[in-house]
Structure 1
Amino acid sequence: METSLETVALFSLKLAYEEEGLSPILRDDLVMGDYQKDVFELLVKRGDVATIQFKLNECLNLALDALGGVEKPLGRELHKLSAEFGQAQSLEQLGQPLLALKGYLKDVL
């Protein structure tokens, strides 16, 4: 799960900040500092669903803005998937929405 959380954060930040022709954003870039696998691993061990959702939503909101917001088709779909992720009450319930977000962001990139 930690790797998927990091991947969703990375894909979101790539959408928000990566510019064509410039160096790509990588997992070890400073912008990923608060969203690295180790950070998510600690939160998963604690079972801190609320903080996981908060941290990932920070990234997803940036991606949503980069996609033009909920007024655009890509943004609407990301918003829908983000809402499903936000409704999870346990780590187990995060799994499917997280995979859906990961797949969607991968397709968009």
Structure 2
Amino acid sequence: METSLETVALFSLKLAYEEEGLSPILRDDLVMGDYQKDVFDLLVRRNDVDAIRVKLHECLDLALGALGGAEKPLGRELHKLSAGIGQADSLEQLHGPVLAIKGYLKDVL
């Protein structure tokens, strides 16, 4: 789960900040500081679904902006997928939406 959370954050930040022709954003870049696997690992061990949701929404808001907002087709789909995060009350319920978003962002990149 932690790796999927980190990957969603990485893909979101790549969409928002990575520019063509420049070095790609990697997991050890400063921009990933609050979204690394270790951070998510701690939150998962604490079963802190609310904090995980906050971190995911921060990244997904950036990705949504990079896709042109919820009015554009790519943004609309991301917005629809991210609704599952807000509805999750447990880590088990969060897992499905995170995997769907991860797959979607991978396809978009």
> What TM-score bracket applies, with the shorter chain setting the length?
over 0.9
| CA distance in 2: counterparts of 1:58 and 1:75, whole angstroms | 15
5+ long unaligned stretches in structure 2: none
Q: Matches of residues 24-43 of structure 1 in structure 2 within 5 Å?
A: 24-43=24-43
Match of 1:23, SS state, is: coil
Runs of 4+ with >4 A deviation: none
Q: Which residue of 2 aligns with 1:100?
A: 100
Let me know the Cα RMSD of the aligned residues: 0.4
What is the number of residues matched between the two proteins? 109
Counterpart in 2 of 1:82? 82
How far does residue 60 in structure 1 lie from its aligned partner after superposition? 0.3
TM-score when scaled to structure 1? Answer: 0.99
Give identity over the alignment, percent.
Answer: 83
Return the alpha-carbon distance in structure 2 between the equivalents of residues 49 and 85 of structure 1: 9
Q: Which runs of 5+ in 1 are unaligned?
A: none
Structure 2 counterpart of 1:12: 12
- Could you tell me which residue of structure 1 aligns to residue 58 of structure 2? 58
Between 76-85 and 23-32, the greater mean CA deviation after superposition: 76-85
Shift of 1:86: 1.5
Q: Give the TM-score normalised by the residue count of structure 2.
A: 0.99
Question: Which residue of structure 2 aligns with residue 44 of structure 1?
Answer: 44
Q: CA deviation at 1:9?
A: 0.1
AA aligned opposite 1:101: I
